[in-house]
Structure 1
Amino acid sequence: MLRRLSSTLLAASMFAGCGGIETEPSAETVAPASIQDQQAPILTTTDVDVAPECQGILTFVNTSTYATLDQFLPSNVVTNLVNRRATAPFTSLADLSSVPLVGETRLKQIEGGARTRDFIDADCTGIFDGIAISHDDAAAIVSLVNTIDDSELHDVLPDAWNGAANLLNLRPFTSAQAISNVAGIGDVSFRNIRNSATLSRPFEALAAALNAIPSNGSYGAVLQRHFDWWEVVTANHPYSRGGPTCFGLEPSSVPYGATIRPNLANAAEVRAEVNSTLAYVNASSKIPAGVISAGLANLDARIAGRSFKGCIFSYADDPWSSHSAAIFVDTVNGFSVLSETWWAE
């Protein structure tokens, strides 16, 4: 996967935008597209608008000559880009889009130029709704949209309910382009989908490791990242311990018999619940330390400063067991966590 944007390249790009004779980057400055960095992450792991595999798009704009850019863009747009990069190299698509006359169409033309000039290859799928995604990002997006539950998708797209409904009605999809083309899906919603599909993989790995711990039949625990919270909260259990305590839900989404808590959950409450779930099964002795540390660091990054709606409840399927569960859902981007512990006589 391409990793072109080195400090050397940034220096070259700044020189290219300043006065003097402008030259194309040398072979020593810009590595050929065939050179792959096998150590880089497969998926985009932070909330950026350019995947690592697509950084060549920025490199193309930062280092190409006026004449080269002019082959793919109108001259007045090229002038604006060259004048702006003389002050600082471009670092994001949002940065590029801040230049006068650069919008969605120009970004696609820039992408086309970068691909033609071999700054990006098939590892970069392209620019959709304001973000440049990798081939692996695209696959993760398609998989998520095709499998996500109704309630979670609407939480991921809280301000695009029509878009969520259209996705549910039109799936399965075979490409990120097709998802981007759906009515009601725009820059914010597509980015939320990408983030939901790619940004929590270390925590998902931790959850999978905990869920794989063999049960001794008398107690156990579960962590989940993707689930249908409405189905979980409203499921019928013959020995239910009473209605859940819920917070932050729309009135139409409050389960029957629920007690309403006035305050939302915060990051500290979510982290404490996850820590308690891990400790319940002594996860530190059963899961590799690296999986735990990476998963919890990833969780902290996703929940810091956030607010969560959800429910806390207990239930039993027979008189000889009990389950305690907590569900937290980010009120803005739908990031969700389910923790559950159980015991049986």
Structure 2
Amino acid sequence: MRRLGSALLAVSMFAGCGGLETEPSPESLTSPSFEAQQAPITTTNVDVAPECTGIITFVNTASFQTLDAYLPSNVATNLVSRRSTALFTSLADVSSVNLVGETRLKQIEQGARATGAIGSSCVGIFDGLAISTSDAAAIVSLVNTIPDSELHDVLPDAWNGAANLLNLRPFTTAQAISNVTGIGDVSFRSIRNAATLSRPFEALASALNAIPSNGSHGAQLKRHFDWWDEVTAYHGYSQGGPTCFGLEPSSVPSGAAIRPNLANAAEVRAAVVNTINYVNGNTLISASVRNAGLANLDALSAGRSFKGCIFSYSDDPWSRHNVSIFVDTVNGFSVFTETWWAE
């Protein structure tokens, strides 16, 4: 899929396109024409989606005269001077050039689009990120559906921005999200990452959740959830915990035991693997989905610290649920595991 997306981009560079293009409306996201334009999700923490790399190509290869048609002459001169010593590799790299800011980046995007360097699969540049159509759709979907507690965990240093998003949603475009007061380069990137970087793990969770229950035991994985609701939900027969770690005093559920040490990548992985094995997911889930999901989990959790809670409960005296909740203390990446049995 990635090679196909790159190939389509290369074709668009020669085909050309006129004028500025706008982000697709929600109604167009399901249309046949949009499906043909849909681009793969950006799966790494870069500031240029592969479908938008033509923006960097444009800055690196356009003549001074072409750059000068879209930018002030002194900015074009600075870009040409800088690329003579080292080609640009990212938007952050371009932005490091004197006099290049958000307005100049949008003008560069305009030039790249008008000259055919980027096509319809690249929506454009917002808050220092060049995003694809799939990135934009994922961002809108996440912001419109993410629980309150998770959104604030994704944006720990932009609480006003998170509150504004919650008050103003639903959104129809990524640009509208970018325009919200309190959302800037760091927070918009955090939202993009939360929306796109964990797709292989989400596919693993979906595959596990699709395993039919045999009536006596089962399991589930979640990537997006409201951890506060999960921990504080009423259960008829509490059997253990919760034992919580890393939470603010005001966020610790009543009666919880406090564990001094945060969870690490190994603990999170062990909880996920145990959940998979509990329902024989190691054989019922395809090796490609399982391996990709666990590799994605490893990449997102390596070296990270997690807050959360671990607890058990019963719906009645003849059953038991064991739950583990982990939330990255910096970027809000969250994992929920649950196993249950019933007599």
- CA distance, structure 2, for counterparts of residue 288 and residue 78 of structure 1: 52
- CA distance, structure 1, for counterparts of residue 77 and residue 280 of structure 2: 62
User: Is the 1:209–1:287 Cα contact (8 Å) retained in structure 2?
Assistant: yes
- CA distance, structure 2, for counterparts of residue 295 and residue 52 of structure 1: 22
In structure 2, the partner of 1:225 is 223
In structure 1, the partner of 2:180 is 182
SS of the residue aligned with 2:172? Answer: coil
1:139 aligns with 2:137: yes
Picking from 325, 328, 337, the partner of 1:327 is 325
In structure 1, the partner of 2:262 is 264
SS of the residue aligned with 1:172? Answer: coil
Superposed displacement of residue 243, structure 1: 3.2
SS of the residue aligned with 2:303? Answer: coil
Q: Which has the higher helix share?
A: 2
Picking from 224, 232, 235, the partner of 2:233 is 235
SS of the residue aligned with 1:240? Answer: strand
Q: Structure 1 length normalisation: TM-score?
A: 0.89
Q: Which amino acid aligns with 1:286?
A: L
Q: Deviations over 1:158-190 (max 9, x none)?
A: 111111111011000000010001111111110
Task: Give unpaired runs (5+ residues) of structure 2.
Answer: 18-35
Picking from 206, 209, 224, the partner of 2:207 is 209
In structure 2, the partner of 1:317 is 315
Q: Which amino acid aligns with 1:340?
A: E
Q: Deviations over 1:273-329 (max 9, x none)?
A: 111111111112101110001111111111111111000110111000000010000
- CA distance, structure 2, for counterparts of residue 220 and residue 179 of structure 1: 38
Superposed displacement of residue 32, structure 1: 3.8
In structure 1, the partner of 2:6 is 3
Superposed displacement of residue 202, structure 1: 0.7
| Cα distance change of structure 1 residues 71 and 62 upon mapping to structure 2, 3 Å threshold | same
State how 1:147-162 maps to structure 2 within 5 Å.
147-162=145-160
Q: Which amino acid aligns with 2:54?
A: G
Picking from 144, 163, 170, the partner of 1:165 is 163
Picking from 261, 276, 279, the partner of 1:278 is 276
User: Is the 1:2–1:55 Cα contact (8 Å) retained in structure 2?
Assistant: no
- CA distance, structure 2, for counterparts of residue 318 and residue 171 of structure 1: 39
State how 1:1-345 maps to structure 2 within 5 Å.
3=6, 31-32=14-15, 42-345=40-343
- CA distance, structure 2, for counterparts of residue 343 and residue 268 of structure 1: 25
SS of the residue aligned with 2:310? Answer: strand
Q: Which amino acid aligns with 1:159?
A: D
Q: Which has the higher contact order (CA 8 A, sep 6+)?
A: 2
The share of aligned pairs that are identical, in percent, is 74
- CA distance, structure 1, for counterparts of residue 93 and residue 16 of structure 2: 24
RMSD: 1.9
Task: Give unpaired runs (5+ residues) of structure 1.
Answer: 10-26
- CA distance, structure 2, for counterparts of residue 316 and residue 41 of structure 1: 44
Q: Structure 2 length normalisation: TM-score?
A: 0.90
User: Is the 1:4–1:56 Cα contact (8 Å) retained in structure 2?
Assistant: no
Q: Which amino acid aligns with 1:236?
A: Y
User: Is the 2:237–2:317 Cα contact (8 Å) retained in structure 1?
Assistant: yes
| Cα distance change of structure 1 residues 338 and 2 upon mapping to structure 2, 3 Å threshold | closer
Query: What is the total number of aligned residue pairs between the two structures?
Result: 320
Superposed displacement of residue 242, structure 1: 4.1
Runs of 4+ residues over 3 Å off in structure 1: 30-34
